[in-house]
Structure 1
């Protein structure tokens, strides 16, 4: 089986470091690029000094030195991701993207880039979360219409976008199953609402605190009973290993925009 050579953007970030470790320990995968900003103090330092299992020949470098890479992975911020996408296009290298907080214009750029290179974009690379996306669709269609649907998510204090990309993916899956336009039924703030809640809406609640890696609960409540579907992540390695799995699946795929449902054959 061919070894998949991986390059990681934002290699010194929280997810970047997890991706470096995942690319090092995953079978049939080789870390060949660890990219940081040109102003980073890590430039030229061997990755082995931070991740003892990493290849001693790999040093942190900036994105002008991309070489010997089969798939690029990006879990940075939207502005950085768009720059990295241009680099992937210029080198014709497939890309796995886990950046959240993207605008409709950002997504349009992804769709355009996917005409030329294969891209996996997912808001969450956990296998469990992607199974959850299927489960909430089943619940939404089988439990009837007299139903209150709410989504709660909790993350660490440093997470900027809210609701999380995963929470939105859950809501979008439910809206799709119900035949709703998500943007029309999503409710993010009820502080100024003076009417009772409608059953034709999806409410979002957010918590930010401490070092919470990620927790998502979907509530399906009706008179007399409540179904709660919850996923809790205790380590970023869950997402990192999922991204490495996606990178292995993506190699040699035709140009197109894919997601983890494709990778896991859940569609």
Structure 2
């Protein structure tokens, strides 16, 4: 049976991509497209799909739909709150959430099935498993730096993916990322501390997303790069997560590692 979906921010770049892929795959059906009132005129869908600016109306329209939300932190939190009230499952791919917002998501996940990931690509989530092993194997003589490149309309910096990868790198060294992260260098700053992970952001053009991790040691350098060539990579991951989440029990905040 097809998984019915409610797409939040359906007029945005990710929302449009997710809706298009869902319409092309009979594994899914579009129950509702939700966006701001001034965006509704550009939304189109097949029969039975509600187009609205009211999430509550969409939730009432389809009791067993899974919500997919790639919008903004406060919008996504409101989506999660309404999902917890109605009992709907929700997949959230929004980045830029702070610690308090992530903690609230985890609390809401006690009431309804919630899934959150800063990056839905298979490759990035495989890197989350591999990078700590590489970090430990190389040892502390290797400095770790990261550069992330995204399009000029991205609002958060560093990217949520960069921070997620940074967290797994820091944990492999026994560090807490906020204590060792350096995202700006200017002027006479002195020698680089050993307990540091640099994460620098570059913005420009229409780049979907590139993350390069550098391990720089005595006499050699290792570079690990992930390039996302299309937003379909993340959209397919979100759809996969929605099908996986349907029917799961509440109790904790799920992520891509749970699917694997």
**Fold conserved between structures, TM > 0.5:** yes
Give the Cα separation in 2 of the matches to 1:46 and 1:188: 39
Correspondence for 1:12: 11
User: Which shows bigger deviation, 27-36 or 11-20?
Assistant: 27-36
Give the Cα separation in 2 of the matches to 1:24 and 1:90: 28
Give the Cα separation in 1 of the matches to 2:257 and 2:137: 21
| Mapped contact 2:91–2:115 kept (Cα < 8 A) | yes
**Residues 103-118 of structure 1: pairs in structure 2 closer than 5 A:** 103-118=98-113
1:215, distance to aligned residue in structure 2 (A): 0.4
User: Which shows bigger deviation, 164-173 or 73-82?
Assistant: 73-82
Correspondence for 2:253: 257
Give the Cα separation in 2 of the matches to 1:41 and 1:29: 23
3-state secondary structure, aligned to 1:226? strand
1:198, distance to aligned residue in structure 2 (A): 2.0
| Mapped contact 2:214–2:222 kept (Cα < 8 A) | yes
Give the Cα separation in 2 of the matches to 1:190 and 1:157: 21
Extract unaligned runs of 5+ from structure 1.
49-54
Give the Cα separation in 1 of the matches to 2:216 and 2:147: 13
Correspondence for 2:143: 148
Aligned CA RMSD, in angstroms, stands at 1.5
Q: TM-score, normalised by structure 2?
A: 0.93
**TM-aligned CA distance change 1:193 to 1:79, over 3 Å:** farther
3-state secondary structure, aligned to 2:200? strand
Give the Cα separation in 1 of the matches to 2:106 and 2:187: 36
Give the Cα separation in 2 of the matches to 1:192 and 1:94: 49
**TM-aligned CA distance change 1:46 to 1:198, over 3 Å:** closer
1:125, distance to aligned residue in structure 2 (A): 0.1
Give the Cα separation in 2 of the matches to 1:212 and 1:46: 25
1:209, distance to aligned residue in structure 2 (A): 0.3
Correspondence for 2:175: 180
Correspondence for 2:44: 47
Give the Cα separation in 2 of the matches to 1:225 and 1:71: 48
Give the Cα separation in 2 of the matches to 1:64 and 1:246: 22
Q: TM-score, normalised by structure 1?
A: 0.91
Give the Cα separation in 1 of the matches to 2:147 and 2:86: 40
Give the Cα separation in 2 of the matches to 1:163 and 1:3: 37
1:193, distance to aligned residue in structure 2 (A): 5.4
| Mapped contact 2:11–2:39 kept (Cα < 8 A) | no
Correspondence for 2:205: 210
| Mapped contact 1:47–1:56 kept (Cα < 8 A) | no
1:179, distance to aligned residue in structure 2 (A): 1.5
Extract unaligned runs of 5+ from structure 2.
none
Bigger helix share = 2
Give the Cα separation in 1 of the matches to 2:247 and 2:48: 26
1:114, distance to aligned residue in structure 2 (A): 0.7
User: Which shows bigger deviation, 208-217 or 250-259?
Assistant: 250-259
